Amino acid sequence: MKTTMITISPSAPVLIAGPTASGKSALALQIAAAQGGVIVNADALQVFAGWRVLTARPDDADLAAAPHALYGHVPHDADYSVGHWLRDVTPFLAGSVRPIIVGGTGLNFAALTQGLAEIPATPAPIRAAGDALSHQDLLAGLDPATTARIDTQNRMRVQRAWEVLQSTGKPLAAWQDDTPAPLLPPEQAHCITLDAPKDWLNHRIARRFDIMLEQGALAEAEAMLPNWDPAHQSSKAIGAPELIAYLQGQMSLDAAREAAIVATRQYAKRQRTWFRSRHKNWHHISADSPDLSATLSFAAAPDH
């Protein structure tokens, strides 16, 4: 892993990955303040309208500090895939303003820097059949090559692989092997991963959820309650099922808070595992550093 001082060019794209609550957005704002750029979302849930507080989307102060894109632009009841995101991010790669692409969704960064196979959409009947199967039954229906590549603890990823095999007759691993060239090869960007120590991050996760409650996450859940559907992709926002369960009288607020914090910590663990495995050639910065930008050197723009 690269841990040396990183010299940031004002013209090259910057990619910032890391687990939830590790300080990615703050680092992106520091880079934008130093050199300019548009901060582009690479988080799979921050794209949805409705859950602004609960998904930690940029607040009004952040939006005023730097231009942002691809936050909250998708209706809460819509489907949105990695392919959708890749198409949405493409214009920013050729735009006049340097993109600072930030998020915790490893698949988005993998698609951007390694390429994405154009897999046909899953027919509704096959999606419904997958919804009805247990996690273990879905796993049992996968080929060994695909099983070895995906997070087998993540039902969404397992079901997606099962649906691909059922609808196309071709394993997900085979589709991935036929992947086209990436839109942004990693050597053409500054690729940064924030490494977050477990105990430090767990404390931040608990504190951040309490701040979310203070800032209106419960009111946000109340507004979403009439249209709540656990099948919606946006409903996977961590804390959403728990706060909805509280509003429906199924658990106390303390229990909902604790369950949401535990779920967030489990998600962060999966993210750390992913980035440790997949981002070995990225620059790594310790997220608990007092000043993240101290590990960066900002190159001046060339004279014209």
30: CATH: 3.40.50.300
Pair 172, 194 in one domain? no
| Domain assignment present for 92 | yes
Average pLDDT score over the chain: 94
Pair 16, 165 in one domain? no
Pair 40, 147 in one domain? no
Rounded to an integer, what distance in angstroms lies between the CA atom of residue 244 and that of residue 246? 5
| Domain assignment present for 275 | yes
pLDDT of 225 over the 90 cut: yes
| Domain assignment present for 303 | no
| Domain assignment present for 173 | yes
CA–chain centroid gap for 18, Å, is: 9
Pair 130, 67 in one domain? no
Provide the H-helix boundaries in the chain: 24-35, 60-65, 82-93, 106-114, 124-132, 135-140, 144-149, 155-168, 172-177, 198-214, 217-224, 240-247, 253-278
Residue 135: band (very low, low, confident or very high) from pLDDT cuts 50, 70, 90: very high
For the chain, how big is the Rg over CA atoms in Å? Answer: 20
- Indicate the burial class of 301 (C-beta count within 10 angstroms; 0-12, 13-18, 19 or more): exposed
- Which is higher by pLDDT, 303 or 179? 179
| Domain assignment present for 97 | yes
Last residue of a domain, one of 107, 142, 177: 177
Residue 4: band (very low, low, confident or very high) from pLDDT cuts 50, 70, 90: low
pLDDT of 300 over the 80 cut: no
Pair 192, 284 in one domain? yes
Cα-based distances in Å from 170 to 132, 176, 246: 21, 10, 42
Pair 226, 198 in one domain? yes
Pair 196, 159 in one domain? no
| Domain assignment present for 63 | yes
139: domain range? Answer: 124-177
pLDDT tens, residue by residue, 250-276:
999 999 999 999 999 999 999 999 999
| Domain assignment present for 304 | no
Contact 80, 41 (CB under 8 A): no
Residue 301: band (very low, low, confident or very high) from pLDDT cuts 50, 70, 90: low
Pair 227, 274 in one domain? yes
Nearest to 213 by CA among 236, 242, 251, 249: 242
pLDDT exceeding 70 applies to what percent of the chain? Answer: 97
Q: What pLDDT score does 95 carry?
A: 87
pLDDT tens, residue by residue, 91-120:
999 989 999 999 999 999 999 999 988 888
pLDDT of 245 over the 80 cut: yes
| Domain assignment present for 1 | no
Pair 105, 162 in one domain? no
Q: What pLDDT score does 304 carry?
A: 43
Is the CA virtual torsion 154, 241, 104, 21 positive or negative?
negative
Last residue of a domain, one of 140, 155, 177: 177
pLDDT tens, residue by residue, 188-220:
999 999 999 999 999 999 999 999 999 999 999
Nearest to 24 by CA among 7, 41, 44: 41
Number of domains the chain is built from: 2
Q: What pLDDT score does 265 carry?
A: 98
Pair 185, 282 in one domain? yes
Pair 42, 136 in one domain? no
Cα-based distances in Å from 112 to 69, 107, 157, 188, 232: 16, 8, 18, 12, 25
pLDDT of 162 over the 50 cut: yes
Pair 68, 170 in one domain? no
